[in-house]
Amino acid sequence: MRRETTLALTTDAVEKTRQVGEELGRLLEPGDLICIYGPLGAGKTALAQGVARGLGVTEAVVSPTFILIREYRGRVPFYHFDAYRLHGPADLNLLGAEEYLAGDGVVLVEWADRVDPALPAERLDIVLDYGGENKRRLSFVPRGARYRALVEELKRKL
């Protein structure tokens, strides 16, 4: 998959990663899709927690690793998927992902690499990686005009 990063930044604490997610969450609209890639411990759930906070979710956001999907209420519904335990794209479809993706909320998928072929082409990919002690590198890869505009707006906010 060709990835063109239009925003790259480094955070130096988990809370900073959450803050980036929160700024992003404030900009999201119904129908938006965020796909997060990265190794274990890279900060995927922390970023998702920030996105939820930016969407106005007040309850605690935890990884849906064992139940696969968690739904939250905020200013728009927030659907948090974790594809870590899925065996491939077909499993995502078995979960009824099409309904969520075509729905009225924001969908965020952790471990998106496991189901990438089943995801819509237009979306925002975020790649997290280790950047040294307590540091995380975040690379934003917009796929489609909506997401290019979103990343440009996020740049102005950060």
**Mean pLDDT to the nearest integer, 83-107:** 78
The residue assigned the tokens 């690499």 is 113
Please give the domain boundaries of the chain with CATH numbers for all domains. Answer: 8-141 (3.40.50.300)
The residue assigned the tokens 């950060």 is 158
Q: Give pLDDT tens digits for 7-60.
A: 999 999 999 999 999 999 999 999 999 999 999 889 899 999 999 999 999 998
How far, in Å, are 63, 85, 108 from residue 66 at the CA level?
A: 8, 8, 16
Q: What is the pLDDT of residue 69?
A: 81
pTM of the shown model: 0.91
CB atoms within 10 A of CB 112: 24
**Mean pLDDT to the nearest integer, 71-96:** 83
Give me 132's structure tokens: 């040294």
3-state secondary structure of 63: coil
Cα Dmax for the chain: 40
Q: Give pLDDT tens digits for 67-76.
A: 678 899 999 9
Closest among 16, 3, 22 to 137, alpha carbons compared: 16
Distance CA 41, CA 49 (A): 14
% of the chain residues with pLDDT over 70:
92
Residue 1 above 50 pLDDT?
Answer: no
The residue assigned the tokens 């729905």 is 103
